[in-house]
Structure 1
Amino acid sequence: MINLVASEWLKLRSLRSTYYVLAATLSALALTGFAAFSISHYFDTNGFGGEPVGTGLSFSADITPILFGMLGVLAISGEYGTGMIRLTLTTVRRPWMVLLAKAAVVAGVAAVAGQVVAFATYFTAQAVVGGRPIGASFSEPAALAEVLATGTGSAVAAVMGLGLATILRSTPGALIGLVALLLVPTGIERFLPAPWNDWMSSLAVPSLTRQLAGVPDSGGFGPVSATTILTSYVVISLLAATLAITRRDA
């Protein structure tokens, strides 16, 4: 299994798309910096009353899961496109082991990269805010936990993307499905009456990540429930993908 994980790590490193996706995460810093600057300017002009910057992670909360989900999609969809998946499954007789190795690699990369982006985003926001009382220090409740939980959300999104690409065997289809899967709960909640709207929006990965950290007013679930739901996303994605890769010819 260790050799298989090492092989999948080499494959992921050899993909140019991996570096494109990681480079695209810098957009989170740009968006956060712009939002923090706008809110800081409003504060300088009008004082309190506007939206606080806080940790700054909320401004790019929907972007990073999509990008790391793309990392999971591209980790396997290219093999289906080129037919290399046949060689992989011929070499490794147990398809579930291939899938598990890929999931371990993309989840690990997404967790580490997502954590780096989270800290960079946080410090970008605080640097723009400066001494204004609209930021959030790590001494405040849930601030550090919110930053640390971001890596978990990134890893979950990556595995979800991997699962979708394995099931659909299409890069465009998996990318569209990924965006829909990550954003649909937030979109649907606008058309639902209370309390169903809050419950639906609480199921989105970015919202679950904040609930995992215990951020106040971030959703209808506590840390334990959020952890359970995020885990179920990973398990369901891997089980569905395992059925697809086992029962169908590569």
Structure 2
Amino acid sequence: MTAGRFRDLLAAEWIKLWSLRSTAWLVGLGTLAVVAFAAQSSMDAYQSWPGFTAMEKARFNPLDEAFSGLSASLLMIGAGGLGALTIVGEYATGLIRTTLVAVPARHRVVAAKLIVVAAVTLVTGVIVSAGSFGVSAAILSGRGVAVSPGDPGVLRVLAANALLAPVAALTGVGIGALLRHTAAAVVTVCAALVVVPTFFQPTVHQWLNDLYALVPFYVWRTCLGLPQVRADPALPTVAGAWAAFALWPLAAAVVTLIVVRRRDV
């Protein structure tokens, strides 16, 4: 297939993605909701600051107000659900048959879909991360406790926050390709990416810690989402956390490719 034809595939996947009503709602309202959470949390901290104890002020992390666990959960659920719907919807409507008749090279179709989903959710993640940080910093600067992107560890936190969206979305595509059922795919995405990891805690069993260190939400919460990584052998390292972030979308892409190529439509 020529480069021109692959561009046509990308254009087709772009049109199909935005033809889903859920896309605009999830991207638009999801972005506004996460930024609004950051503003509300930061405003609460701003108003409560005079009543904080000296120890609370010393331990205060402004990035927790910009991007909380709840915000991360919402972002991953929304992006993961969007990723699942992009492929489940095609099977539900039968559009996948038309697509594969027009383009028998299934791996090209999968590649185009993954690229478009990754690009859209990456841009969304960047907007969410930058917007949440900017709003929070503007509010907390009134108390003199805001941080800047140049402070140690801040850029890593912002990058990790932005990458939560494409990691979740591509994982959703893989799960959607496996299950081919809207409700089952969305529930599985939520459980795998958010619900189960919220119960993860470091334990005395290293094999469990190694397993937890493969979960994106867990490594974000204990490592990448913190400006200073805690020196705890039970917690994932920065390198290991980035590897986990890369592993999930890569595995999802492989699963999607295998499933679409081997299963009948």
TM-score by length of 2: 0.84
- The one of 59, 77, 100 equivalent to 1:89 is 100
Structure 2 residue 146 is the aligned partner of structure 1 residue 135: yes
User: Which 5+ residue runs of structure 2 have no aligned equivalent?
Assistant: 1-5
Q: Secondary structure at the match of 2:150?
A: coil
Aligned to 1:181: 192
Alignment of 1:1-250 (within 5 A): 1-23=6-28, 24-50=30-56, 52-55=60-63, 56-59=66-69, 60-190=71-201, 193-194=203-204, 196=206, 199=210, 201-209=212-220, 211=223, 215-217=227-229, 220-250=235-265
Task: Tell me, in whole angstroms, the C-alpha distance in 1 between the residues paired with 2:104 and 2:190.
Answer: 32
What secondary structure is seen at the aligned counterpart in 2 of 1:130? helix
- How has the CA–CA distance of structure 1 residues 46 and 209 changed in structure 2, closer, same or farther, with 3 Å as cutoff? closer
Distance apart, 1:135 and its partner CA: 3.0
CA distance in 1, matches of 2:160, 2:194: 19
Return 5+ residue gaps in structure 1 as ranges. none
- AA aligned opposite 2:104: R
TM-fit CA distance, 1:243: 2.0
Higher mean Cα deviation, 160-169 or 148-157?
A: 148-157
Q: In the alignment, what sits opposite 2:3?
A: none
Distance in 2, matches of 1:125 and 1:204, equals: 27
Q: CA separation in 1, counterparts of 2:226 and 2:137?
A: 21
- For residues 204 and 89 of structure 2, the distance between their equivalents in structure 1, rounded to whole angstroms, comes to 43
* 1: CA distance, partners of 2:91 / 2:105: 17
Q: Work out whether residues 216 and 241 of structure 2, in 8 Å CA contact, stay in contact via their aligned partners in 1.
A: no
Shift of 1:95: 1.8
Query: Which deviates more from structure 2 when the two are superposed, residues 50-59 or residues 168-177?
Result: 50-59
- Percent of aligned pairs with the same amino acid: 28
TM score, norm. by length of structure 1:
0.88
Matched residues, number: 249
CA RMSD of aligned residues (A): 2.4
Moved segments of 4+, more than 6 Å = none
Query: How far, CA to CA, are the matches of 1:34 and 1:54 in structure 2?
Result: 13
